[in-house]
Amino acid sequence: MCLPRTIAMSAAAILSDKEKQTLRLIARGYDAKSAARELGLSVHTVNERLREARRKLVVTSSREAARRLLAEEGSSAPATPDLLGDKDLGDASAAFPGAPPTASATRRWASSGLGLGLALSLIGVLAMSLILAALFLPASPLTVMPTAAASSVAAEPSAADAARAAEDFLMLVDEARWAESYAATGTQFRALNTLERWSAVSERVRPPLGKLLTRNLVGNEFVPAPPEGYQLIKFRSAYANGAQQIESLSLAWEDGAWKVVGITFD
């Protein structure tokens, strides 16, 4: 029985350079996916090459086709696959219609002699540089200076802020939140009053007044008293039991905030 003519022919003679290039990688242990990465091609293109090589050699597996080519080439086979780089092989345009032959960055690196491994290493170095730049960016004067300026403006004491702090304090008292109102007092107030004493006095004085009806700001002035002066805030308030009184609060600037250091009711 005569063998088909294609089987008797040399594999090296009937295979194209691209098919032999791919089979050499298969012989070295690559699969289609890793061979595609090495060659800078799509997996589809590599599979097409292998399919055509199997057809020409009339074999059922790519490994068998690679072994046959390797057996024929012997020691004369290239030590590494002859990456064709920027040559117009048509692979890129076949896998991606309309793409230029040199569209693959991997193939350009390969053709320049640097190799895919070096290309990936350089990409890794670039990525690490960008990460380090991002880490050090907050230390730039362009980012730190506006933040510092904003902090200094926010921390600047003002009469309006003192009035708001005084009103917030009185609202805590209206709601019988003794511990929270005590926390809003300054060191001078706490030196003379414990939380227990403040709570006891407040419980005895505030609830009998009933619900707050109105509270209007009637005074906001700086008092140059030692040690560093106070902001004196006055409200005229009316309560459900019919009581009307002037509530005077002295506030001192402590730790970047207004703190109540004295309270009187007229």
CATH number, residue 228: 3.10.450.100
Q: In this predicted structure, what is the pLDDT of residue 77? A: 54
Which residue range(s) make up the domain with 97?
Answer: 5-120
Q: In this predicted structure, what is the pLDDT of residue 182? A: 96
Q: In this predicted structure, what is the pLDDT of residue 83? A: 47
Picking from 120, 149, 183, the residue at the C-terminal end of a domain is 120
Q: Kindly list the averaged pLDDT for each block of 10 residues, start to end, along the chain of length 266.
A: 52 90 93 93 95 92 91 64 41 42 42 48 50 44 41 67 95 95 94 94 93 96 86 96 94 94 90
CA–CA distance, 86 with 72 (Å, rounded to integer): 28
> Is 186 in contact with 254 (CB distance < 8 Å)?
yes
Q: In this predicted structure, what is the pLDDT of residue 155? A: 58
Same domain (yes/no): 88, 175? no
Position 125 in a domain: no
% helix, strand, coil for the chain, step of 5: 55, 15, 25
Q: Looking at the 3D structure of the chain, how many domains does it have?
A: 2
CA–CA distance, 201 with 97 (Å, rounded to integer): 86
Same domain (yes/no): 116, 20? yes
